[in-house]
Structure 1
Amino acid sequence: MSTEYTLSAGGYTAVVTAQAAALRVLQFDDRDLIVPFAAGGPIPDYRGIIAAPWPNRIADGGYTFDGAAYHLPINEPERATALHGLAFPLDWTLKESDAGSLTLTCTVGPTPGYPFVLELEARYTLDDTGLHTSVTARNAADVAAPYGVCPHPYLVAGPSPLDEWVLEFSAESFLEVTPDRLLPVGTVPVEGHAFDFRPARAIGSTEIDHAFTDIAFDGGLARLSVRDPAGTGVGGSGVGMSWDESCPWLQIHTADKPAPIPGRIGLAVEPMTCPPDAFNSGTDLIRLEPGAEHTASWSIYAL
């Protein structure tokens, strides 16, 4: 059974597991802000994990970096991809904690498919404005390393079905993907498309498992909100997420599942430093030189 840590502050409660440094529970006044998962068991659908050293998927698990070809294990066999990095199976080590904050660390690599060494540090801080997370990667080897990261929470706006939730975020483009493997084709403007949520509107029956970009950052932060008009409280209930400019991409997934598996139980919102298959395209891929560090930050809060 994985060790877990509980944080409390300002009406919020968060539970983080040592495995994957995953956010297992986040509540405000006993209201779920994310889809939780059971203590002590496997993490379903990568809920709440830190995806590193790459977010999303790498086609066929293969890539070339600095002239050398590498092949990663395929962990999404139905699409023949390497999904969500190498850090999620690991038990992260406690560095420090108190009632409202927690820092966990792990080392990724070297492995045959990723012969680099990254020291990762995830810091969770809870206060009366919500849960704030940062992930710092440091290259602990003597060669440059490819890197990307994202969180993987499934947000919950309220008790109504996801179709009734009202979503809003400012992105001008999305990444069109192949229908079978969800691999990049090219960016497309959201204008006039079902994926345009720049004005807040109900998600409806729209199915999304796509990355968005050309995101509006106001004062260095991008923001997303999802609200349940029928939720408790004046004007309903909701949850918001913000992130800094280290993440110019945003994956949105409506968690659609084939019957009889319950689907659309939450909205995956994943600020990403790079798009899917960035190890091959090079788009916004971070090149960490020896000794260099990179930090990405995001927050989740009640509305």
Structure 2
Amino acid sequence: MDPSGEHFRIASGEARAAVNEVGAGLRSFSVAGVDYTEPQPEGVRPPRGSGSLLAPWPNRVAGGRWTWQGKAQQLALTEPDAGNAIHGLLRYAFWRPTDRTDAAITLEAVAPPQNGWPQPVRVAVTYAVDEQGLTVTTTATNLGSDDVPFGLGFHPYLRVGDTPTDDCTLTLAARAALPLADQLPSGPLEPLAADAPLRAGAPLKGVELDSAFGDCAPADGDDLVRHRLVAPDGRGAELWAEPVFRWVQVFTPPDMPGHGRGVAVEPMTCPPDALNSGTDLAVLAPGEEWTARWGIRPVTA
């Protein structure tokens, strides 16, 4: 059995995508044969968190410890070398398809109550492709008897066909950087000037990042947050998101299979260690639903 389970493939016109059964992560996305995310190799777990859906929280929880309604919680330390809990509870769960067409698929899983997590949360995610690109819609529902916090993130690696990452320019819609120490928040947000690298557009050659940014917001007259990776010829990949995705993590590992250096642009609704800080966490009442959208579209020269 493939570690990612079944691969669900969807298509519309020249747009193609694939989604993993295990973790419900994005396996690939292309238009007219051009990859706009790093396609995952066969027969192995998604490398470097590639394409992962991160719920019911994204990023890290320091020491796996947090407090909810006055009760101490201790999550499993899923980042054992650093001693943290990372990227939620559903990355290695089997997700059940609940609806499928040629161009879209919906998958569903439940994060059950367990050590460190107090209430069951159902997460349903729909991946859909059309002439505009890829749209990802996620709905979380509190199935429990009391309030529960919720945060969401995704871990796509952007790509512009065969263009090396070092030849591309990255532009973020973030207006602040979050200082990190050992990948956990170490201070308040630091404003980024409008002409700061990454906000104004930064060539990635020689830039190594595993960094968190906040205060992501639409440009004037827009209603979506937009991050862009652009090749020298002007072609690119745009990751758009609803304004609830106020945070983004950027990671540039040197060893993505088949492509060398990669760049993950990870939209998040809350920052690292949000279960402790409470920053931008949603709080769902029993039976309450919460929905958010993001997606990827090609940018033409």
**2:204 counterpart residue number:** 203
Of 198, 218, 239, 2:237 maps to 239
- Checking the alignment, whether the CA contact within 8 Å between 2:17 and 2:29 is kept in structure 1 is yes
Change (3 A) 1:192 1:223: closer
Q: Are residue 275 (structure 1) and residue 275 (structure 2) matched?
A: no
> 1: distance between equivalents of 2:173 and 2:297?
18
**2:113 counterpart residue number:** 110
Greater mean deviation of Cα atoms: 111-120 or 132-141: 111-120
Per the TM alignment, residue 170 of structure 1 is displaced from its structure 2 partner at its CA by 2.5
Change (3 A) 1:173 1:28: same
Amino acid at match of 1:266: G
Q: Are residue 126 (structure 1) and residue 122 (structure 2) matched?
A: no
Q: Are residue 9 (structure 1) and residue 7 (structure 2) matched?
A: no
Per the TM alignment, residue 157 of structure 1 is displaced from its structure 2 partner at its CA by 2.3
Amino acid at match of 1:214: D
Per the TM alignment, residue 192 of structure 1 is displaced from its structure 2 partner at its CA by 9.0
**1:191 counterpart residue number:** 193
**CA offsets 1:25-78 (integer angstroms, 9 cap, x no match):** 111111211112123432221111110000000000010011011111111122
**2:292 counterpart residue number:** 296
Aligned with 1:60: secondary structure?
Answer: helix
Aligned with 1:143: secondary structure?
Answer: coil
- Checking the alignment, whether the CA contact within 8 Å between 1:254 and 1:264 is kept in structure 2 is no
Per the TM alignment, residue 227 of structure 1 is displaced from its structure 2 partner at its CA by 1.2
Change (3 A) 1:188 1:256: farther
**2:34 counterpart residue number:** 31
Per the TM alignment, residue 153 of structure 1 is displaced from its structure 2 partner at its CA by 0.5
> 1: distance between equivalents of 2:66 and 2:127?
32
Q: TM-score, normalised by structure 1?
A: 0.91
Per the TM alignment, residue 125 of structure 1 is displaced from its structure 2 partner at its CA by 1.0
Change (3 A) 1:242 1:167: same
Amino acid at match of 2:212: A
Amino acid at match of 1:164: D
Q: TM-score, normalised by structure 2?
A: 0.92
**1:146 counterpart residue number:** 149
Greater mean deviation of Cα atoms: 40-49 or 122-131: 40-49
Q: Are residue 266 (structure 1) and residue 269 (structure 2) matched?
A: no
**1:232 counterpart residue number:** none
Q: Are residue 45 (structure 1) and residue 43 (structure 2) matched?
A: no
Per the TM alignment, residue 141 of structure 1 is displaced from its structure 2 partner at its CA by 0.4
**CA offsets 1:246-266 (integer angstroms, 9 cap, x no match):** 211111111246xx9999632
Amino acid at match of 1:184: P
Greater mean deviation of Cα atoms: 164-173 or 121-130: 164-173
Amino acid at match of 2:226: R
Amino acid at match of 1:283: T
Amino acid at match of 2:296: I
Amino acid at match of 2:100: S
Change (3 A) 1:251 1:36: same
**1:214 counterpart residue number:** 215
Amino acid at match of 1:254: T
Greater mean deviation of Cα atoms: 201-210 or 144-153: 201-210
| Structure 2: stretches of 5+ with no match in the other structure | none
